[in-house]
Amino acid sequence: MIIIKLLRYILGFVRFKASGNFPERFFNLCAKNNITVWNIRRKIGYIEGCMFVKDYKKVRKIRGKSGVRLRIAKKYGLPFFARKYHKRFGFAVGCAIFFIILNLMSMHIWNIKVVGNQSIDTKTILDALAKIGIKEGTRKSSIDVSNARQQLILQLDKISWAAINIEGTKATVDITEVKQVPENQEKLPCNLKAAFDGRIVSMEINEGRPVVNVGDAVVAGDLLVSGIVEYKTGQSALKHASGKIIAETNRQLAFHATYEQNYEVETGKVDERSVLNFFGLKFPLYLGTVKGNYKKQVNSWRFETNDSYIPITITTARFIEVENVKSFLDKEQALELAREEIKKMEQEKLSKAQIINREEVVEYTDIGVKLTVNYTCLEDIAVEEILLINTTNK
């Protein structure tokens, strides 16, 4: 039915009114002369129907024989539309350009969807695809799907399998991530060595052969627990050494706070610049450039539906003007600043250690205050070192 309606629209047709004494004779003559008439309806004083434009021109002789009068009620179809605008050259050129652009756009990828990823960020996958030549605007004929999927797997270690399916202007990338091996499986033989200098205060060995005792002093890099275990039979085995070696360690953190402090403050002036990305083409929606010192905030918005998106993006950058301001601290303020920075460093570097003693050393210099803090800690100093085994063929 849709095809018939489309054909009628392309060929053009008219809805006409037939009035007179013998309208039925008119329709019989049309059928006899293979003239198609449809949607025939009887109205008060006339009969209404539709026929193709080319057939309407043929019915002049027929209407004379049947004694009816014909009048066109409405015209439909492409021929009438083209006749209406045939003198509008610009309109015709615009339509032609539109269809050419539409055809060219259908040859490219405009929508990329990634499915199957859980721990890998979608942006990471899209960036990897762009490096191998698959991105918005890429010509479909230039994509070797088999080679692209192999390149994607090689670029991202966490991907074990990938498929790239192209349908129309949309590319769907389906991936399977590498399954993580549980911590208690596939453990390689290793030793435990000291991460810091210290004096051992307690040991809890789960696997391996200890080579130090409680009370021993060790330096960073010393062997604590060997992964090579020898039995009374003379045989030896390689083990994944594990356990906790708690030692008393001495650690030191330092920070120099200067009296002169430089920082930025916002002036209140904000300028916005937007860029329209239309199917890979960028159009700036502003004039001029931003001058001076500023902080930049970028937000993007694009047309999206539930399952896909249209490659039309508006990116807006907010330029917040800032100016450099100097301030001067006294000795107490500089010392307080140094203590705040040391506290941050403690949280970062000594979060796993138990601090049992803390001593501050304050040094006043010409440009500021240097704070050095010496710590006595209890912490697990054992770190794994994989055993490298050399094999030779004799």
What is the percent of the chain where pLDDT is above 90? 35
Contacts of 348 (CB under 8 A, 6+ apart): none
Question: Which of 243, 209, 203, 250 lies closest to 383, judged by CA?
Answer: 243
pTM confidence score: 0.51
pLDDT beyond 60 at 181: no
pLDDT beyond 50 at 213: yes
pLDDT beyond 80 at 72: yes
Contacts 24+ apart (CB under 8 A), 285-290: 285/314, 290/319
Mean pLDDT calculated for residue range 125-139: 89
pLDDT digits (tens, 9 = 90+) for 239-266: 999 999 999 999 999 999 999 999 888 8
> Which pLDDT value is given to residue 185?
45
**Domain 111-177, CATH:** 3.10.20.310
> Which pLDDT value is given to residue 376?
96
Tell me the pLDDT band of 217, cut-offs 50, 70 and 90.
Answer: very high
Amino acid present at 375: Y
> Which pLDDT value is given to residue 9?
84
CA distances from 223 to 62, 182, 239, 270 (A): 113, 27, 15, 60
pLDDT digits (tens, 9 = 90+) for 25-42: 888 888 888 888 988 888
Average the pLDDT over each of 113-117, 373-377, 390-394 and give the range with the smallest value.
390-394
Tell me the pLDDT band of 182, cut-offs 50, 70 and 90.
Answer: low
Q: Please tell us whether the domain made up of 2-82 is placed in CATH 3.30.70.1800.
A: yes
